[in-house]
């Protein structure tokens, strides 16, 4: 599965994307936990946004190995 990182998350991790091979069925929430274990919870706070195949996804969305998953921090503006 291809994972994309955007904005300050990309800067913090110092990588724009990475590939993770799914060994078992996994939800977005479980992937987030895996990434927290790898990169720390400060990079994946509870308000981080996720899209699967370019559609906003919640933590219960089931992932497939060919999916494109994007994580990005919430955007504010004025």
61 touches 35 (CB < 8 A): no
Residue 49: its H or E element: strand 49-52
Confidence of residue 76 (pLDDT cuts 50, 70, 90): low
For residue 74, the model assigns a pLDDT of: 83
- Buried b / exposed e over 5-34, threshold 16 CB at 10 Å, is bbeebbeebeeeeeebeeeeebebeebbee
Confidence of residue 75 (pLDDT cuts 50, 70, 90): confident
Fold held by 2-72: Ubiquitin-like (UB roll) (3.10.20)
- Going from N- to C-terminal start, the domains of the chain cover 2-72
- pLDDT by residue (tens digit) across 21-71? 988 899 999 999 999 999 999 999 999 999 999 999 999 999 999 999 999
pTM of the model: 0.91
């Amino acid at each position: 599965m291809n994972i994309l990182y955007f904005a300050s998350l990309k800067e913090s991790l110092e990588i724009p994307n990475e590939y993770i091979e799914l060994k078992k069925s996994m939800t977005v929430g479980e992937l987030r936990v895996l990434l927290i274990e790898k990169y720390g919870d400060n990079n994946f706070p509870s308000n981080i946004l996720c899209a699967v195949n370019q559609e906003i996804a919640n933590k219960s969305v089931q992932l497939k190995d060919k999916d494109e998953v994007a994580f990005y921090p919430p955007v504010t503006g004025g």
